[in-house]
Chains A and B, each alone.
Chain A
């Protein structure tokens, strides 16, 4: 674990020096500024829209950070040649991959936690009490970000950073509409080969919608514990599978 943690720490320090926090600040200001326009709505609607806005912002920021950091972490190390002294140490390639992935997830988690804290205070100002479900929703946003980061990390082991970012973004878009649009598309495909191909893509894509607890947050609905446990299990398994694939690909890669 020691080498993995050391690489994750180095990755976290490196990521924190990138301009990602500028993006987060920008998004925070956008939401705060947007919230001032809510006065035209009635009290109940206003809070619902605010919560929707906050969680959408958290989910989007988490996804973008995961794509940005996950797809550049390994290619940047190779390009800057910082990877060589590290891999010359007695560490396995999978430890390096896992360390880089954890570094990315930690950075995104810190970013999401910071956003959630700011938005928590904002909701408190409007609602007059803290929304205890916001931390739960934020935790699942982190899990979603971890899944996206795992996909981006895997892609970055065999493509360039730009291609990895582009494909990761497509996976994010398809993953968020998977249950609805893709399932309908699958039903309507007449060609059996195309149907088989679509099914393969459908099952390989992460179902990112399941991490989105916006409806529960907005309408103050309760979410069954079993559902949360299953989603957590799904997210962890998907991320583990993707990182495992990344480790396998990277093990054979020449650098």
Chain B
């Protein structure tokens, strides 16, 4: 067994960043602050959603975690070790966004090579590769060159590649990108299973419904700093919305109701008024004055997508 494989099981946080800052030097003396004192602490055996708009610093964070980039100040710690300790990466599986692999390789060859890079001997490597392919349902494609596989199947190969070597931490950048609903479901189930087996999953995704259903903890970042971090329930806040369905309304009535910061929508012959629950009294009073017939009333909790738009837009 190699040095890499004899690393002790970690007791510390899989990922912790302390005031992580990254400044890119651009041409003509300009600078861009990609990360600004980013602090995150990823709990063990949890699915951690890492959200943020484009350019918020998600990829930069991942690249620093994997030592592709160096922080300008602050530090990132993986399982209690600095990111430049390459041996710690024996505990990590990584799926880059839109993964690209040597197109001439067959999935089994690619995964065996990655298993060898993880320190396994050839026989171990091949069985580890097959096991990873089995987990993502790709055994039947094991001997087909990657260049002949579709984007979705290549994505599954990428996920299998990340799973090689039973990592304790999976860093996945848009793992379900390009997958059909069946593939997405399979990967969702797989991630839950891995989490239940004690693996920590660091998930960067733009599919907020997926993050909402899957993640135990979510951090939203904006301009390189954490805006909020907590369970999806905590992030969605206590904001509950009221949805009132009426018949069609005139534009005059619509204007009169604007003072409540309403979201007014037309759908299947109904007009739908959406506002925060605290505005219910004013809304019903205004509707009574305008003599609007109420067809249905619903309450709706803020979705993660709405929370994300509120926090990160």
Contacts and interface: CB of A to CB of B under 8 A. Distances in A.
Interface stretch (B9-17, B111-119, B223-231): B111-119
Interface stretch (A29-37, A81-89, A192-200, A209-217): A81-89
Contact of A88 (B94, B98, B102, B105): B94
Nearest to B116: A6
A85 B70 contact: no
A90 B119 CA distance: 8
A6 B111 CA distance: 12
Contacts of B118: 89-90
A3 B66 CA distance: 17
A2 B119 contact: yes
A90 B86 contact: yes
A203 interface: no
A167 B198 CA distance: 51
A79 to B, nearest CB: 10
A18 to B, nearest CB: 11
B89 interface: yes
The contact size tier of chain B is 35 or more
B119 A82 contact: no
Contacts of A110: none
Contacts of A2: 2, 116-117, 119, 121
Contacts of A92: 86
A170 interface: no
Interface string A1-40: 0110011011001100100000000000000000000000
Interface residues of A, number: 24
A84 B113 contact: no
A17 B105 CA distance: 11
Interface string A69-109: 00000000000111011111111110000000000000000
A14 B104 contact: yes
A254 interface: yes
B70 A254 contact: yes
Nearest to B94: A88
B90 interface: yes
A194 B134 CA distance: 66
Contacts of A6: 113, 116-117
A125 interface: no
Contacts of B70: 254
B182 to A, nearest CB: 25
Contacts of B2: 2
Interface string B91-134: 01111101111101100000001101111010000000000000
A87 B99 contact: no
B65 to A, nearest CB: 9
B68 interface: yes
Interface in B158-173: 158, 161-162, 171
B290 interface: no
Interface string B300-311: 000000000000
A69 to B, nearest CB: 15
B87 interface: yes
Given A2-B119, A6-B116, A10-B113, A88 B89 contact: yes
A14 B102 contact: yes
Contacts of B69: 254-255
Contact of B89 (A14, A80, A81, A90): A90
Contact of A85 (B67, B87, B101): B101
A9 B114 CA distance: 12
10 contacts: A2-B2, A7-B117, A13-B105, A81-B96, A81-B98, A85-B96, A87-B66, A90-B86, A90-B90, A255-B68
Q: Which 8 A-B pairs have the closest CB atoms?
A: A88-B94, A89-B117, A90-B90, A6-B116, A90-B89, A90-B4, A84-B96, A254-B69
Given A3-B116, A6-B117, A84-B94, 18 more contacts: A2-B2, A10-B105, A10-B113, A13-B105, A14-B102, A14-B104, A81-B98, A82-B101, A82-B102, A85-B114, A89-B89, A89-B117, A90-B4, A90-B86, A90-B118, A91-B89, A92-B86, A93-B86
Interface of B: 2, 4, 66-70, 86-90, 92-96, 98-102, 104-105, 113-114, 116-119, 121, 158, 161-162, 171
Interface of A: 2-3, 6-7, 9-10, 13-14, 17, 80-82, 84-93, 254-255
